[in-house]
Amino acid sequence: MGFFHKEHFEGIQAANAEAKIPDTKWKEEIRRSLEYGLEAADSIQDRNISCFSRGELPHFAGINTLLKVPYLEDVRKVGEYDVAFMGVPHDCGTTYRSGTRFGPQAMRRISALYTPYYFEMGVDLRESLKMCDVGDVFTINANNEKSFDQISKAVSHVFASGAMPMIMGGDHSIGYPCVRGIAPHIDGNIGIIHLDRHADTQEKDMDERMHTCPWFHATNIPNAPAVNLVQIGIGGWQVPRDGVKVARERGTTIISVADCEKIGIEKVAEIALEVAWKGAKAVYLSFDIDCVDAGFVPGTGWPEPGGFLPREALKLLQLVAKEGICAMEVVEVSPPYDISDITAQLGVRAMLDVLATMVANGKLPKK
């Protein structure tokens, strides 16, 4: 055995970093729980436990918001927060297996499994950010276009308030109205980094703007040009030729999983950032859960083998988030097809990893 210093292990470094994280917000949560939830029964020795669950613990109890952050009923006050989680339970744009309207519910439910503390990065989101959950957009699931109008208005309100929208879909048709809601508030161009197995760049599908079409229409927005659209993970047997033709004609950057294997995740992230940020003032991040190999994410409408390992996808998201993003969507989580909530859990993990990375790199809270 060679000589080594355990201080060189990232695990030891992360453990040491934990000592520097404050616990002010955690203590405030305990105080609030005891005030609002009453003190525990006399037989309970730990007097930090309340009678009614009003905080993080126990993980199996409570009314689920994302990560059990406060539910903000009055969305007029969303500007008081750094981050706003919001559900978009829309699957009228689905072309095969529906069910993503239940995605936000599933992600909120399984998010109770997590704590706000991320070991490797030494970040505690509860101590670093003021977060809320504004609930779900009232979508009209018999009408895509009316739903798109609702989504754009909701995302626009949250973004214009100063809070960062963290959007839980829903099928991928919501990508277009989400970008449409943000673009008017960006003083310049907006880039799009899109992780997916499918190009989603055709104009129409079955004569409607479906979940195969968001980036055709998003890149028609004057300040969201196609040359700033980067699509990563595209491949397999579910990429319609109509969409490929549009991507080719418009100059979209497409990076396959094979490309990622060949040049490495770090280089792919470098290219994605260079293309998306070129001449842009902000970048929108779209994470379609089906970019991950179907063996890891059964709960999606269009599973395709050959995608990323979860570890690869999370690494790519972290590298992209280091430069900051203006908003993020997680789409195509379809709970009716999920097993033990593993697909929904990865969707939650993706959002939390992005937030932790932005905190660690000084991109959140906004200065």
- Are the C-beta atoms of residues 183 and 190 closer than 8 Å to each other? yes
SS3 133: strand
SS3 275: helix
Residue with tokens 């453990």: 15
Give me the sheet containing 327-331, strands edge to edge: 131-136, 83-88, 164-169, 327-331, 280-288, 189-195, 229-234, 253-256
CB atoms closer than 10 angstroms to residue 30: 19
* Beta bridge partners of residue 88, listed in sequence order: 169
Nearest partner of 252 among 213, 225, 222, 282, judged by Cα: 225
For residues 71-87, give the mean pLDDT: 97
Q: What is the structure's pLDDT at 318?
A: 98
Q: What is the structure's pLDDT at 168?
A: 98
Q: Is the peptide bond between 365 and the residue preceding it cis, with omega within 30 degrees of 0?
A: yes
Q: Nearest 5°: phi and psi at 329?
A: -120, 145
Beta strand 280-288 with 253-256: parallel, antiparallel or unpaired?
unpaired
Q: What is the structure's pLDDT at 213?
A: 82
Nearest partner of 66 among 354, 349, 356, 364, judged by Cα: 349
Residue with tokens 């009614």: 52
Inform me whether the pLDDT recorded for 310 exceeds 80.
yes
Inform me whether the pLDDT recorded for 19 exceeds 60.
yes
Superfamily of domain 63-361: Ureohydrolase domain (3.40.800.10)
Q: What is the structure's pLDDT at 315?
A: 98
**Per-residue CA distances from 316 to 266, 282, 325, 342 (Å):** 7, 18, 14, 19
In this prediction, residue 7 has a pLDDT band, given cuts at 50, 70 and 90, of: confident
Q: What is the structure's pLDDT at 3?
A: 63
3-state secondary structure 44-72: CCCCCCECCCCCCCCCCCCCCCHHHCCEC
Q: What is the structure's pLDDT at 182?
A: 98
pLDDT digits (tens, 9 = 90+) for 330-357: 999 999 999 999 999 999 999 999 999 9
Inform me whether the pLDDT recorded for 1 exceeds 60.
no
In this prediction, residue 367 has a pLDDT band, given cuts at 50, 70 and 90, of: low
Hey, where are the domains in the chain? 8-58, 63-361
